Structure 1
Amino acid sequence: MRAPTVRNLCTLSALFRSRLTRNPNTKVETFRKPSSEFEVGFGSELQHSSEFDLPRDSSRGDLVDEDVQVSALLCSKQDKGSGYDEVDHEEKRKSAVAIPWLPDLSHGKLLAKRELVRERKSKCISKYSRTHRFHRLIKLCADKLGTTQAVNVLGQLGRKTGVNEYNALIKVCVQKARVTDDEYIALSEMSKAFHLFKSMRDCGYPLEEQTYDPLLRYIIDMGLVQEFQLFSDFIKAENPGLASRLGYYEMLLWLRVDNEEMIRDICEFITVDDREDTSALRVSYLMALCESDRKMQLLDVVKNIDIIKLLSVESIENIFQSLRRLQLESVAEDILLDLRARDHDADNISNFIVSYAVGIPNLAVEDIITKVNNMHGILEVLPSRSSYEKLILHFCGLDKVGDALDIVEQMCNAGFYLSTGVLQFILQICEESYEYILVYQIHSIVCRYHLELNGEIARCLVHFCVRIKDFEGAYKIIGDLEEMNFKPTTNMYNAIMAGYFREKNISDGLRVLKHMQVANVQPDSQTFCYLIHNCETEEDIMKYCEEMKQYQIHATKEVFMALVNSYAACGKLEKAKQVVLDLKLPKKALIEIKSVLVVALASHGQLSEAFLVYEQIKTAGHNLEPKAVTCLIEELTQHNGELDRLLLLLKEVNDLDYWVDVCFKVILYCARNKNLSTAILLLKQLKDKFENDEIVMEALFDAVFVIAASESTHLQIGLDLLWAIKDELDLMPSRQCLDFLLSACAKARDLNNARLIWREYQIAGFPYNVLSYLRMYQALLAAGDARSASLMLKKIPRDDAEVCSVIIACQETYSSVGEKKKQGKSKGRKSKDLNTSSSDMCSL
């Protein structure tokens, strides 16, 4: 079996990243709170005996059972049409005995995956808006200083505390109240929010819905009737125009506490009171009712009001969304027929149809299309442009881009034009789901219907062709867009150039610049960044630097980084060092560029020089970029560097994603060098960071034991880790971990430890499956215990031909061990199980 590598292990840390933002399901626990605490915060007039419903994390993800992955974990399947006899017997035996636990990740696939991750990361970074960073800053201030002091500090910093600041602070209070199990903390946070409301009033700021919505929803979730009344009265007093909108929250409260009398009175008010000045309040009540599961009350109200007179188009759509959720199709059809009979706008009716159809639970795409077509036919209306686009967006949200494109075809044939926003969204979904092959269909639609384009859409079309390595197709798209009077952009050519270089096709990558010159498209700094990064000689580097000057393109941070890497690749490490001394180098990017230099030096064997640059950065009071620290740790582990230096570097990594990666590397280094105490110390740190996530902890446990299965000499360190983690970390091993160790026992022909691991399956509560039986059977044969192996063989299901092949291969591989054990016994006596043929075994 091929030994797992550090690269294999590091890919597991991606699971940690995906789990960091997991949204756990919650369960509700209640406790009673004393009114005296509220009297302190809100005033002595407030007395109540209601209950908090605070969420507690009770989620635990489920792992896919290993039995489902049996065929993937066994040796790769033979060609069904070739037959057993046509396969080389020796090769089959070798591959069958090795029962891998993870599929091998080739270096090429890892590079491709890293490139995709790099692209996604750059997109994610672009999505971090100023608002996001602002809220993080406010939260940090509130956490460290408290809400009142945060307001004062912002004022001292010269920043006026405006509506956005107050809204952010109120959200912080609500979030703290939601997550706490301490009733006094929850009461304190509500009191702070109340005083922030007062402070806003004193500053002359109006109380709008974005301000009070988080707090009112929290109060509703807790079922706090009197507190709701207090805040509601305060908001009405400050902004009387909000009285009708507050009816929405009032209805949500009565629904939450199941106050049947109030619900009944409000439903009667909606249907009976038809005064114009109460219409806004009635709509608010109705919209809240639509969000509930009260089918009878909703039906009674809908049947007794004039929908067209009372509700806006958006409110009617909410009605249909509620009807579809409650599966009241006949009522929805009656309302649509009534709207059609009263000559309501046909486009709006088409939108209502789609709004209703796309929300029917568990309805397949084909059924949605059928439902939409049938309802349009019954009502004798034609689909509108907005209803087409709504359907397209819905299918894209389901990752059914092919079906969405079919709707685009129908829409264009009906004479409508697809908006650039919707087309760009389709391309975004294609990119996220890696459906680059759909570029041909999208390109065809764009050309046939002359759809309006923008720079991002054109870039995506070219980029998709590059992704599927159809470079000629990418050039063809550029030519077709020119015929549509869309001027090619630099980004389009940059995408082609990057694709060629990614495929190591340097000559064609360099030729892209000539195509740009012919097309009269000016290169930019990114173009020269690609060119310089892929230079093979110092002369080429200088040539492109001169061309940058001719085009009057200023060198960016990325260009300087490319220069460092390119000089290093050419073996000109001294020139690479001189790049960071350039006076034109952006000062803000100096540390990043020096970090690139550290990586270049370390990866080209100049580890001591890399540490000199590292020391310079530290002396200047800065920190090395996490990627550079990771590179240094990798190089140190490969060259058996000092453990103390490794641990020191690990402490400097502040980014959790990188920290998990390098922590795994150091743990592996400790395991390989049999430094158990340090490995356990690092495992404790990992446990502290992810102690509330059982799935992450299980992945952690698996990753540590990669080393145990790589070589038989590492079996003891794997066993020591097992007992230490059980005793010191109080963790139970996972099935994959035990599989690792059992395979290692088979390699080492260690029968005693194999039996210990076998008992660990029962202790951990894992039922034995076909893989565990096969591994133990292999371990027993390897150790020469033919009798126990024969008993184990009877427990292995043999209805799969590959399982039979593994059994036969194990018998042939370890038969010599059994023969040695049988010396002195009758030579004519042979094990019946060992002579079982492939056909006989599969028929058992």
Structure 2
Amino acid sequence: MIISQMRYSYCSYFLRRRNLSTRSRSSSSPNNNFNSESSSLVSGFDADSTLSSLKIKRPSLSDDSSNLVFKQISSIFYGGELVKRPGSEKIDGEKEFERTPKISWLSNISQSNTYLRRKEPSREKKQKCMFELSQRSRFDRLIEICAKVLGTGATIELFGKVGREPGLKGYTTLIEMCIDRARGTDDDDIATEEMGKVFHLFKSMREQGLDLAEQAYRPLLLYIIDTCLVEEFHFFCNVIKDENPSSLARLGYYEMMLWLRVNNEEKIQGLCDYILENDDEDASNLRESYLLALCESERKKQILDLLEIIDIKKLSSTESVSQIFQALGRLLLEPVAEKFLLDFKTCDHEADNITNFIASYTINIPNVSVEDLFIIFKDLHQRLDVSPSSSSYEKLILRSCALLKVPTALDIVDEMCEASLILSTEVLHSILQTCEETCQYDLVHRVLSTICRFKLETNDEILRCMIDLFLKMKDHQGAYKMLDYLEEINLKPTASMYNVIMAECFREKNIRDGVRVLEHMQNADVKADSQTFSYLISNSETEEDIVKYYEELKQSGVKATKQIFIALINAYAACGQLEKAKQVVLDPLIPVKSLNQIKSVLVSVLASHGQLPEALLIYEEIKEAGFTLEPKDIMNIIERTHSDGELDRLLLLLEELNDTDYWNGACGRIILYCILNNHLSSAVDLCKLLKDKFQNDELVMDVLFDKVFSPIELVESESRHLHTSLEFLSEMKDKHGLLLTQECFDLLSARANTTDLHKAD
């Protein structure tokens, strides 16, 4: 496709502009974005020209950062940088990856998952979720890893080299990452650059023969709408339309959303007038899109005007009709809703759809108690002579849960079940989750009664949640009775159910009853899983018990997971056996891909037990392998560092923290370190970092109070630290204009005399 220089100039013009917040708003005619003249805008892509105009450097796979990516890729597919296969030499994961560029990843994943399903017993919810994620997202993880390290352009190049293009889902993931970065920055140049990357991704999709579907362009358009970038919206809409002409009607939805966002009354009314006054095919296709966008607003007049000319029975989907009924509920338009419902009833529309429309309308009525919503729901069904369906009842039940009205939700369940309708396990689980969130643990008795009375379908997770609710009431007997109930319904308890009881016993420091859970499992012929042994090892009181449970695990054939080795490290450390804790990382059963995570735990444990030099040695090993510590482990090292001469290392650790909360705490802790070791200028520099980050003096002082001033005790040996802190306050006032909060002032007043405090004034 030949692209004119004018089109590139237009693209370069708006994508290079630096101030995103001061975009001019278009004043063109209401439908100028979708008429025939718009086809003269961009209809193709030149990635190099665009990237050049944006000053974006195309990442190269020869960069050092690619080595880390290869290590992480090999970690996913080969279990780590070095893998030992049965009966073979050690294999370098990076070389193996390069050696097999056409590897059939999907088939390998399928075979791996089949093996895991055959070998692994059931786990607790967390393990199940982890396993499911590993099944469906291994390839997506690769895309994310590469994009984070190399950037989107080099990621596409990398996967092209190994014969595996991202596909629509992969491209969508990359686009979403670009948009997330644009949303997460206050730097206009970075946000502009991320839009340029999306432009390049659109071009790559076209080259791969992929349609520019809505799931790919939706994140970009929503971002542009949220940031009120009118000209950019016009540009990208024309790009999308040229690449996917069938998207014209759907783009109308986003156009109306844009004018609603910028509150341009002229444009909104202009679009409405266009489809009200025209009856051609283009206007007809746009009507539904404009209406659905308006339904997300409070513009009652325009919605009613469009509903006069649109036959909602002919809308493209029942989801679209449901959105209209939701808007009618929010706007309290009951006569209009009832009129449309009668129309559906008159034309013999499916009863299930009608009852769902009633539910969509009802649950969106504002400022009405859920009990009254239920009355409205039943009244509308009676007037229309329609019976509620399971799905419409469930909408009301979920609305009750959202409003934290569990007893009302259970009343609706009773009425639903009495009508011989089936409650889904997903909704039943939502009710139990709400019981937990609202601390209405005792309602588990009523849930159990309902399950028994109506013989409701359950699953392992529902039963585990119910056991947990009994335990939260300290009703251990009730929890065990739940296990007995399983026999009545011909179900066998699982290890995860017993694990819940065991975990609660250990949380209560009831070691004896926690250990006895294992006996109950054995009596019920339920095999312990890795989580069971992890709990037992973590709560072992003696070295002998640690060894015993680990040996039992190996003899049982249960696979030793990452959690097992973490439990071993913590258990040995708790027993004072730090040398044996260090030996855990040498265990040949450790999964190679988990080794560095397990080492991270050891680093934290050693730091906590005063062995900081050894902790730092292991930390360096982890870094050399291309990995980083978890934020909490980095924080642990920082908090345990007291001796002078470690400031450079602390600052490097601070740079590695990418978690905001941990970074704030670590920065404050390092400032305290500087005060205690008389590095006043460094403390002031760090304070400037905090000020630049927060741009709010009160937030800065809150961090300083929590992490700096409150730990300083006024004792004879620490009086010099108090004086240093007062000098620090004086410097902050002089250089950055920061003043003490009242809380901080009161604390220092209690620890120093009036003369000292005058130094900080």
Tell me the TM-score normalised to structure 2 length.
0.71
Which of residues 733, 738, 742 is equivalent to 1:731?
738
CA separation of 1:152/1:694 partners in 2, compared to 1, >3 Å: closer, same or farther? farther
Q: Does 1:665 align with 2:669?
A: yes
Q: 1:407 to 1:31 in 2, by over 3 A?
A: same
Change (3 A) 1:149 1:303: same
CA distance, structure 1, for counterparts of residue 186 and residue 667 of structure 2: 33
Cα contact 1:290–1:318 (8 A) shared by 2: yes
Moved more, 314-323 or 174-183: 174-183
**Preserved contact between residue 455 and residue 489 of structure 1 (Cα < 8 Å):** yes
Match in the other structure for 2:216: 211
Contact persistence 1:746–1:754 (CA under 8 A):
no
Instruction: Measure, in 1, the Cα distance between the counterparts of 2:252 and 2:736.
Output: 53
Q: Deviations over 1:112-142 (max 9, x none)?
A: xxxxxxx99998999896687467447536x
Aligned to 1:821: none
1:684 equivalent in structure 2: 688
1:295-694 matches, within 5 Å, as 295-310=300-315, 312-432=317-437, 435-604=440-609, 606=611, 610=615, 613=618, 626-637=631-642, 643-644=646-647, 647=650, 650-651=653-654, 653-656=656-659, 657-671=661-675, 676-688=680-692, 690-692=693-695
User: C-alpha displacement at 1:187, in angstroms?
Assistant: 7.9
Aligned with 2:549: secondary structure?
helix
Contact 1:490 1:521 in 2 (8 A): yes
Report the AA paired with residue 726 of structure 1: K
What is the correspondence of 1:680-719 to structure 2 with a 5 Å cutoff? 680-688=684-692, 690-692=693-695, 696-704=699-707, 706-707=709-710, 711=714, 716-719=723-726
**Aligned counterpart, 1:263:** 272
* Secondary structure of 2:586 counterpart: coil
> For residues 295-340 of structure 1, what are the alpha-carbon distances to aligned partners after superposition, in whole Å with 9 as ceiling and x for unaligned?
2332233244443355643222122122223332332233334444
Q: Is the 8 A contact 2:644 2:677 kept in 1?
A: no
Q: Give the SS at the match of 2:568.
A: helix
Higher mean C-alpha deviation, range 453-462 or range 244-253: 244-253
Higher mean C-alpha deviation, range 531-540 or range 703-712: 703-712
The residue type equivalent to 2:393 in the other structure is Y
CA distance in 1, matches of 2:233, 2:619: 58
Shift of residue 210, structure 1, vs aligned partner: 1.9
Q: Does 1:140 align with 2:143?
A: no
CA distance in 2 between counterparts of 1:668 and 1:306 reads 69
**Contact 2:568 2:581 (8 Å CA) reproduced:** yes
The answer to whether the Cα contact below 8 Å between 1:324 and 1:359 also exists between their aligned partners in 2 is yes
CA shift digits 1:257-315 (9 cap, x unpaired): 5333442130244xx67x9x997654334333433444233223324444335564322
> Deviation digits for residues 731-786 of structure 1, max 9, x if unmatched?
344xxx323323542565x45677999xx8xxxxxxxxxxxxxxxxxxxxxxxxxx
Q: Distance in 2 between matches of 1:569 and 1:591?
A: 21
Contact 2:585 2:598 in 1 (8 A): yes
| Residue pair 1:711, 1:744 contacting (<8 A) in 2 also | no
Matched AA of 1:664: G
Deviation at 1:349, TM superposition (A): 2.9
- Mapped partners of 1:149, 1:403: distance in 2: 54
Retained in 2: the 8 A contact 1:591–1:625? no
Distance 2:478 2:596 in 1: 40
SS of the residue 1:469 aligns to:
coil
Equivalent pairs counted in the alignment come to 642
Q: Deviations over 1:802-838 (max 9, x none)?
A: xxxxxxxxxxxxxxxxxxxxxxxxxxxxxxxxxxxxx
Task: Give deviations 1:8-27, integer Å, cap 9, x for gaps.
Answer: xxxxxxxxxxxxxxxxxx99
1:649–1:326 distance in 2 versus 1, CA, 3 Å? same
Structure 1's 583 and 751: CA in aligned 2 closer, same or farther, altered over 3 A? closer
| Residues 330, 675 of structure 1: alpha-carbon distance in 2 compared, 3 angstrom cutoff | same
Question: What is the TM-score with the length of structure 1 in the denominator?
Answer: 0.65
Quick one: which amino acid aligns to residue 324 of structure 1? Answer: G
Identity %: 49
Q: Tell me how far apart the structure 2 counterparts of residues 652 and 233 of structure 1 sit (CA, whole Å).
A: 42
Residues 201, 550 of structure 1: CA spacing in aligned structure 2 closer, same or farther, 3 A cutoff?
closer
Deviation of 1:371 after TM superposition, in Å, equals 3.0
> Are 1:715 and 1:745, in contact at CA under 8 Å, matched by a contact in 2?
no
> How many Å separate the matches in 1 of 2:345 and 2:27?
56
Read off the aligned partner of 2:486 and give its amino acid letter. L
Would the alpha carbon gap of residues 194 and 222 (structure 1) be closer, same or farther in structure 2, given more than 3 Å must change? Answer: same
Q: Distance in 2 between matches of 1:578 and 1:179?
A: 42
Unaligned stretches of 5+ in structure 2? Answer: 1-18, 29-36, 43-124
Cα distance in 1 for residues equivalent to 2:27 and 2:284: 39
Q: Residues 479 and 645 from structure 1, CA distance in 2 versus in 1: closer, same or farther, beyond 3 angstroms?
A: farther
Paired residue for 1:784?
Answer: none
Q: In structure 2, what is the Cα distance between the partners aligned to 1:293 and 1:535?
A: 61
1:36-51 correspondence runs (5 A): none
1:469 touches 1:499 (CA, 8 Å); kept in 2?
A: no
Q: 1:720–1:485: structure 2 CA closer, same or farther, 3 Å change rule?
A: farther
Larger Rg: 1
The one-letter amino acid of 1:541's match is I
Conserved 8 A contact 1:706-1:740: yes
In the alignment, what sits opposite 2:206? 201
Say if 1:247 and 1:685 are closer, same or farther in 2 by CA, change over 3 A: closer
Q: Is the 8 A contact 1:251 1:288 kept in 2?
A: yes
Which is worse superposed, 297-306 or 124-133? Answer: 124-133
* Partner amino acid, structure 2, of 1:449: F
What is the CA distance between 1:559 and its match in structure 2?
A: 1.8
Is the CA contact (8 Å cut-off) linking 1:346 and 1:381 kept in structure 2? yes
Cα deviation for residue 390 of structure 1 reads 0.5
Aligned equivalents of 2:178 and 2:619: distance in 1?
42
Name the residue aligned to 1:18.
Answer: none
Residue identity matched to 2:505: Y
